[in-house]
Amino acid sequence: MSKVEPANPLELLAYNISLQIENGQIVYVGTGLPMVGALLAAKTHAPNITMVFESGGQDPLEGGMPWSVGCPFTFRKSPMVQEMAPSFGQCTLGYVDIAFQGGAQIDMYGNVNTSVIGSYENLKAILPGSGGGNDIGSLTEKSVLVGLQTPERFPEKVDFITTPGYLDGGDSREKAGLIGGPSAVVTQCGIFDFEPASKRMRIKGLNPGMTVEITQACTGFELLLPEGEVPIIPAPSDEVLEILRRDVDPRRVFTKMPGT
Amino acid sequence: MGDQYITEEQMQRLVDFKGAREYHLNKRRDKVDKRMSLSEAIAEYVQDGDILAETGFSYVRAPLQAYFEIIRQKKKNLVGIGSPMSNCSYFMALGIMKAIHLSYIGVEMRGNDKNFARVIKTKQAKIASIWSHGSMALGFKAAQLGAPFIASKQLLASDILKQNPYVEVIDSPVGKDKDPVCLIPALFPDVCIIHVQKADRYGNAVIDGPAINDIALAAACRRVILTAERIVPEMAIREDTSASIPFWYVDAVVDLPYGALPGCCPGHYYWAREWWEWLVRCVTPREENIDPFFNYWVYTTKDQYDFIEKLGGIRFMDHARQLMEAAEANIDDSNVSFAYQEVIPKWD
């Protein structure tokens, strides 16, 4: 029996985020779990990635977990920092390979809402707003959406499109003049992609212990299935979990389950 | 478009290129000592009804002590803008600001700022237009470049466009693709306060670490106040050719060490992290907590030195300096711990 405690759902999420990153990529990193996933990737299978932050920090020397995207850890001995406008401009220019975004709502075409639940005329809840979400999601070659999957958070249609995904599916994103697009969705259930023609969300692989039925029950729309058997994503190795717990998020700021 | 929150004139002033140019044409040109006290600078250069642009990154090199002076002087009818702009939340809760051009209000993973939701829901303040960080940054950048607008790829096909009367979508008239672009107009707020690490008495200013939108905002705004960690001899800046803001943009220079507290200032001090968590987790969730909090930290706090005493005096300050130097890898950080007691209220 392994002495390392198995991954909790947030650790699995961070691990699955890290799997989206390939060695050598330039990665646009936001706050929270994407930061954990990117740091984990850098300390495991992708040691030669370069991180870029919307505060203008980029290519920092390895250091601790940033408290904010404006934290000095995001520009620790950086060769240079950017102003905000040219920082996002790097996404448009094709210098950024992958970016991450969380959202209060993510729909079947990968549209993201971080603005308002209900509508501005009929408010249920107000969220912080786009921040850099719309920018990285509109401009980056591949964006990965990160969320906790429930039927409310994964509705058929978001209440407000803060960051466009594939809009109404098909070629609607391209027709709108947008660049790049969502390449994956990572949740506590597993990893999803978008079926190439319809651009509808599709199960790519599920976490150990997850089933299609449970995953569908966590979703407010019908998920597409891959051809053949649904792959199970191998659980993170003991070594990866130890790196995550010892070197990436030692204070368990982002990977501790609430109430534990 | 105008209403009790924001007038039609205030809406138009944000994109009034000719008005901003006219204002700049009439600013003083001579290179004079512009040093004054914080209260004088805020009294003279922040006026009721101004469009106030937030600078820094909400709580990184942001002129927070100057914002507290704005609160103490009880300014009225301000319009907020900035990318990001999280301090506008308490300006709205305190009744100083009635309308905002929203990009983002929050403290990232520390939690949603419930002030913001409450003031909008209870109609104490209004969202006059909605943006993303990058599109608003392009608006400020267009102003700095002297361009009437910048065509962008962000915002296309989003619902943000439905809540933004300034941005227009057109098919690009140039190039062979003729694909859709957003026209982001140059944005001209009335005033910004920029906290810098170094300035000379005339207003040449040096920013260490990320400048965010501040170089653009210094050019765009009609009035610019600097608060500075250090006032240095002009020759020190000339020797390094390190200034990113020229003196003629600047109206007032305030010698204000610790002026970014309780935020962090690269090269000087790390955040008072607990203060921010206390604000968003304990204070803003309940309206009745707002006044006592600001009474303690702002109204009954004379200046930044009083503020530091309340944070813990020299022990707090030296720890904040040590954390910043460790984060920036300027000291041996092997024995420096970033652990702290997170503020987690019982009702969460």
What pLDDT score does B201 carry? 98
A52 CB within 8 Å of a chain B CB:
no
Which class for A111: exposed (0-12), middle (13-18), buried (19 or more C-beta within 10 A)? buried
Distance of CA B153 to the CA centre of its chain: 25
Residue type present at position B260: A
- Report strand pairing: A26-28 vs A50-52: parallel
User: Under a CB-based contact definition with an 8 Å cutoff, are residues A160 and B159 in contact?
Assistant: yes
Do B212 and A176 make contact, defined as CB atoms within 8 angstroms? no
Task: Indicate the pairing of strand B126-130 with strand B149-152.
Answer: unpaired
Backbone angles phi, psi at B97, to 5 degrees: -125, 135
Question: In this structure, which CATH number among 3.40.1080.10, 3.90.740.10, 3.40.50.300, 3.40.50.2300 belongs to the domain B8-255?
Answer: 3.40.1080.10
Report how many domains make up chain A: 1
> Which portions of chain A are predicted below pLDDT 70?
1-2
Residue A166 domain boundaries: 9-248
> Which regions of B147-288 does DSSP assign to beta strands (E)?
149-152, 168-171, 180-185, 191-199, 205-206, 223-231, 252-255
What's the pLDDT score for residue B17?
97
DSSP type of residue B247: G
- For residue B177, how many other CB atoms are within 10 A of its CB? 10
Query: What is the sign, positive or negative, of the torsion defined by CA atoms of A26, A32, A36, A37?
Result: negative
B104: nearest CB among A76, A131, A138: A131
**A83 flagged as catalytic:** no
What is the spatial distance between Cα B320 and Cα A63, in angstroms, rounded to a whole number?
A: 17
- B152 forms beta bridges with B182
Token couple for B132 = 């993303």
Q: Are A44 and A236 in contact (CB under 8 A)?
A: no
Query: Smallest CA–CA separation between A36 and chain B, in Å?
Result: 12
CA distance B312 to chain A (A): 21
- Could you tell me if residue A235 is inside a domain? yes
Q: Is B323 in a helix, a strand, or coil?
A: helix
Distance CA B169, CA B155 (A): 9
Cβ–Cβ below 8 Å for A139 and B121: no
Average pLDDT score over chain A = 94
Residue A33 resides in a domain = yes
* Phi, psi dihedral angles at B216 (to 5 degrees): -65, -45
pLDDT at residue A68, rounded to an integer: 87
Distance from CA of B146 to the nearest CA of A (A): 15
- The answer to whether residue A260 is domain-embedded is no
Domain locations along chain B: 8-255
Beta bridge mates, B184:
B150
- Contact between A82 and A26 under an 8 Å Cβ cutoff? The reply is no
Residues in chain B closer than 8 A to A130 (CB atoms): 103-104, 130-133, 160
Sign for the pseudo-dihedral over CA of B286, B292, B298, B304: negative
**What pLDDT, on a 0 to 100 scale, did the predictor assign at position A232?**
97
Q: Which two tokens stand for residue B75?
A: 């300014």
Q: What does the pLDDT read at residue B1?
A: 65
Q: Which of A22, A54, A222, A227 is catalytic?
A: A54
| DSSP tag of A237 | P
Count CA atoms closer than 13 A to B187's CA, side-chain side: 30
Query: What confidence tens digit (pLDDT) does each residue in A106-131 have?
Result: 999 999 999 999 998 888 999 999 99
For chain B, residues with pLDDT lower than 70 are: 1, 109, 111, 347-348
Helices B133-145 + A84-92 axis angle, to 10: 110
The structure tokens listed for A138 are: 């509109």
Query: What pLDDT does B2 receive?
Result: 83
pLDDT score at A2: 62
Q: Residue A32: its pLDDT value, please?
A: 82
Q: Mapping DSSP to helix (H, G, I), strand (E, B) and coil, where does residue A185 land?
A: strand
> The complex's ipTM?
0.96
Q: Closest Cα partner for B64 from B269, B329, B342, B313? A: B269
Query: For the purposes of burial, counting CB atoms within 10 Å of the CB of B2, is it exposed (0-12), middle (13-18) or buried (19 or more)?
Result: exposed
**CA A25 to centroid of chain Cα atoms:** 15
**In the prediction, which pLDDT does B342 show?**
84
**AA identity, residue B297:** W
User: Smallest Cα–Cα separation from A154: which of A192, A96, A106?
Assistant: A106
Look at residue A133 and give its three-state secondary structure.
helix
Predicted confidence (pLDDT) per residue in B182-223, tens digit:
999 999 999 999 999 999 999 999 999 999 999 999 999 999
Pair A240, A215: CB distance under 8 Å: no
Q: Which element (helix H / strand E) includes A191?
A: strand A190-194
Find which of A53, A124, A130, A247 to mutate to test the B interface (most B CBs within 10 Å of its CB): A130
Scanning the structure block, which residue is given the tokens 């990737």? A41
Q: In this structure, what token pair is assigned to residue B266?
A: 């690269």
Residue A227's domain is classified under what CATH number? 3.40.1080.10
Task: Quickly count: other Cβ atoms within 10 Å of residue B325's Cβ.
Answer: 19
Q: How many beta carbons lie within 10 A of that of residue A238, not counting itself?
A: 13
